[in-house]
Structures are given as structure tokens and as C-alpha cells.
Amino acid sequence: MEYDDILSVFDIAKITGIHKNSLQKLLNAGHIKSLRNSPRYIIPKQYFLEFVGTARFREIRTSSEPFIKLLEGFEVWMRQLLDEPL
């Protein structure tokens, strides 16, 4: 599924399976960079992708199928990246 370059909390919840309240906490704590358009968060896709690459993202514990698939895909990508010669 394609997403716009600007994401909402709802979009990220749909992508990851992380509950919107948990995402709000991550945003409030600054773990996910965002722009604030009160009372909503605007998250550029680049900021979301940066968050997916953090240890904090990998520490999240959930049984959400979208999250597990996203995490597995990230780990495969990292292995490919590290195995490729520079």
C-alpha cells in the first residue's frame, strides 16, 4: 500500500499495528520526530522511516501482525545492507 509523504497517527497505526495512544506517547516523548499542527501531529514519511531504524522501535513489544512484518522486513533489509560491499 502506498502512503503520502506526510503521515498521520492513524496512518502509522495502520502501517505498524501500534495503538494510536501508544503512538501519541512516542510522539509526545520525542521518539518520533514530527511537526505539530495543533491538536494533530504531522509526520513526514522520512521521520517515520528514521524512527523505524531506531533501537526504540525494535524494543516495542506487541503481537500486532503488521508490526511483526515490518520489523522482520527491516531486519532483512539491514542484513542485506551490511552484507553488501561498500
- Residue-wise pLDDT tens digits, 13-72: 988 888 999 999 999 999 999 998 778 899 999 999 899 888 888 788 777 787 777 777
- Ranges of beta strands (E only) in the chain are 6-7, 35-37, 40-44
> What pTM did the predictor assign?
0.71
Domain limits, the chain: 6-83
Supply angle C-alpha 39, 61, 79, rounded to 5.
105
Q: Smallest Cα–Cα separation from 27: which of 16, 2, 65?
A: 16
